[in-house]
């Protein structure tokens, strides 16, 4: 019987073990999509205890705790940090076969060298050990990034964000680039006129322009797009239920904007046309600047209206949606490609039934101008686990080129989440190593190992055109 989470965890053959340990393990990390707070990196925050680093803002853990019968006061409420950790420790044994079980113990091992299983019996000792370490300078957030050999981080930022903390780090010369990503979802959300107009006020302030027409609106957003570029941004991101690709005229969009700006509700057709217009404008700007655009598709958000009203968004009440993706996505990409204005694009699906759809859609628009120009992104959110990532890898392998894949990201709000890259790398090496030993792939370890290195780091480094130092960074004391 193998020991739980030993050095060959998830690696079921000798070839898989060799691929991981010799080729994947020590590759640097590029985290090109996450939700880490830039302020904490700029201020080099040191957490007071493990709860603050591990449980604050983590809706994955909150969902598990709620399902285990834990009261909300221990998740998002005002209970003490030890009490919250104690309830998480009581929940962990019940997360067997959920990725949280693996992630939890990987993070304890990789950051704190704690090899005990978290449970009510071990909770106090683990809490004290981890807290005593995380209070030290070696565990500041910048040193947590250094510890994991992270070479670049892309945060997720609204067009109205000041990017003051990115500016601060840029001026300081922090050696790990912390780059903004342009996330304009709020600029497209016209379902609530009151909220949309409140957003316009913020946009006016951020851009220094007055907005009274659709042209003014576009000018203000493009002003922010230009500003993000000046701050090193070369990535946009959209979190949408589906792509919008309705036909529209310029006069229609002017009228729709005037209607919602006047505080009137839009019907479904008007909302879809407005969103279609905005997506095309954003995509054109991305193409002009040579950015990479990302589309995260298929989340059905804020299902629990009572808890949404109480706690707000991103607190753990979202699920997989069953939206129809193919036709609109094809029309949207084709409109851009027809004018040769399609930027590098990464598509992510949340519904696993769309795996083969995405894997074949990217092939329609890979035109030979760039290797892997249109990408099928890694298993995302609810699919960010052993089965989901393996299914994504298989779909991409069967219908595209796995060797050109830009690999893994964390999509996380936690500075302790970087072992997810290790998790992905182990699964990748196990998949390839098993097929080598089954005679399905040649026993050419040097070549297959180079493909592993590319998927882990080199492909995304080249795809985003980042010039990065690849030698390990020593933690500051």
pLDDT tens digits, residue range 431-460? 999 999 999 999 999 999 999 999 999 999
Arithmetic mean of pLDDT over the chain: 96
Beta bridge partners of 376: 347
User: Which tokens in the block code for residue 352?
Assistant: 């696993």
DSSP code at position 157: B
Assess contact for 463 and 406: CB atoms under 8 A. yes
32, pLDDT greater than 80:
yes
Please give the C-alpha separations between residue 295 and each of 47, 62, 349, 391, in angstroms, as whole numbers. Answer: 33, 26, 8, 19
473, pLDDT greater than 90:
no
pLDDT tens digits, residue range 395-430? 999 999 999 999 999 999 999 999 999 999 999 999
Assess contact for 347 and 375: CB atoms under 8 A. yes
Please say whether the structural domain 153-162+174-410 has been given the CATH code 3.90.79.10. no
Least confident of 242-246, 287-291, 336-340, 473-477: 473-477
Assess contact for 150 and 31: CB atoms under 8 A. yes
- What average pLDDT does the segment 275-299 reach? 98
Q: Using pLDDT thresholds of 50, 70 and 90, give the confidence band for residue 466.
A: confident
**136 HSE (CA, 13 A, CB side):** 14
pLDDT tens digits, residue range 162-199? 999 999 999 999 999 999 999 999 999 999 999 999 99
CA–CA dist 234, 226 (Å, integer): 10
Q: What's the confidence (pLDDT) of residue 284?
A: 98
471, pLDDT greater than 70:
no
Q: What's the confidence (pLDDT) of residue 476?
A: 60
304, pLDDT greater than 90:
yes
pLDDT tens digits, residue range 307-343? 999 999 989 999 999 999 999 999 999 999 999 999 9
475, pLDDT greater than 80:
no
384, pLDDT greater than 80:
yes
Q: Using pLDDT thresholds of 50, 70 and 90, give the confidence band for residue 275.
A: very high
Residue 61 CB: number of other CB atoms within 10 A?
25
For the domain spanning 49-135, the CATH number is 1.10.2020.10
**188 HSE (CA, 13 A, CB side):** 23
pLDDT tens digits, residue range 130-156? 999 999 999 999 999 999 999 999 999
- What average pLDDT does the segment 112-136 reach? 98
**From-to residues of CATH 1.10.2020.10 in the chain:** 49-135
Q: Using pLDDT thresholds of 50, 70 and 90, give the confidence band for residue 388.
A: very high
Helix (H, G, I), strand (E, B) or coil at 88: helix
Q: What's the confidence (pLDDT) of residue 477?
A: 55
Helix (H, G, I), strand (E, B) or coil at 375: strand
Q: Using pLDDT thresholds of 50, 70 and 90, give the confidence band for residue 467.
A: confident
Q: In the 3-class helix/strand/coil scheme, how is 454-472 assigned residue by residue?
A: HHHHHHHHHHCCCCCCCCC
pLDDT tens digits, residue range 84-113? 999 999 999 999 999 999 999 999 999 999
pTM of the model: 0.96
- What average pLDDT does the segment 261-282 reach? 98
């Amino acid at each position: 019987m193998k020991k739980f989470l030993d050095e060959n965890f998830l690696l079921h053959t000798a070839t898989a073990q060799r691929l991981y340990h010799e080729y994947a393990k020590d590759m640097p990390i590029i985290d090109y999509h996450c939700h880490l707070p830039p302020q904490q990196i700029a201020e080099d925050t040191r957490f007071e205890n493990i709860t603050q680093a591990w449980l604050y803002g983590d809706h994955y853990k909150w969902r598990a705790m709620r399902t285990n019968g834990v009261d909300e006061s221990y998740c998002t409420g005002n209970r003490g940090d030890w009490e919250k950790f104690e309830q998480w420790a009581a929940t962990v044994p019940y997360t067997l076969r959920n990725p949280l079980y693996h992630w939890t113990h990987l993070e304890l091992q990789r950051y704190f060298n704690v090899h005990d299983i978290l449970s009510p019996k071990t909770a106090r000792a683990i809490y004290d050990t981890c807290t005593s370490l995380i209070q030290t300078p070696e565990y500041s957030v910048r040193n947590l990034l250094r510890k994991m050999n992270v070479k670049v981080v892309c945060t997720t930022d609204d067009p109205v964000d000041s990017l003051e903390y990115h500016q601060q780090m840029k001026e300081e010369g922090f050696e790990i680039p912390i780059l903004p990503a342009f996330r304009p979802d709020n600029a497209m959300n016209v379902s609530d006129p009151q909220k949309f107009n409140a957003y316009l006020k913020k946009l006016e302030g951020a851009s220094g322009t007055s907005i009274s027409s659709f042209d003014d609106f576009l000018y203000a957003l493009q002003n922010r797009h230009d500003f993000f570029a000046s701050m090193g941004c070369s990535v946009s991101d959209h979190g949408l239920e589906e792509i919008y690709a309705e036909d529209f005229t310029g006069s229609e969009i002017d009228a729709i904007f005037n209607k919602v700006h006047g505080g009137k509700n839009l019907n479904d057709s008007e909302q879809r046309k407005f969103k279609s217009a905005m997506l095309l404008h954003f995509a054109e700007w991305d193409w002009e600047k040579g950015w990479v655009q990302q589309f995260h598709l298929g989340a059905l958000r804020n299902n629990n209206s009572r808890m949404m009203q109480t706690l707000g968004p991103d607190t753990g009440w979202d699920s997989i949606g069953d939206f129809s993706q193919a036709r609109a996505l094809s029309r949207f990409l084709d409109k851009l490609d027809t004018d040769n204005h399609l930027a590098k694009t990464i598509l992510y699906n949340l519904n696993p039934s769309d795996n083969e759809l995405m894997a074949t859609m990217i092939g329609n628009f890979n035109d030979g101008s760039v290797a892997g120009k249109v990408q099928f992104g890694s298993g995302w959110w609810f699919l960010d686990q052993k089965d989901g990532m393996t299914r994504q890898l298989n779909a991409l392998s069967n219908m595209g080129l796995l060797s050109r894949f830009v690999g893994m990201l964390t999509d996380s709000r936690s500075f302790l989440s970087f072992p997810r890259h290790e998790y992905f790398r182990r699964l990748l090496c196990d998949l390839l190593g098993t097929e080598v030993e089954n005679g399905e792939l040649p026993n050419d370890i040097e070549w297959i190992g180079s493909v592993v290195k590319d998927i882990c780091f080199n492909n995304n480094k080249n795809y985003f055109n980042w010039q990065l130092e690849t030698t390990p960074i020593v933690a500051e004391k």
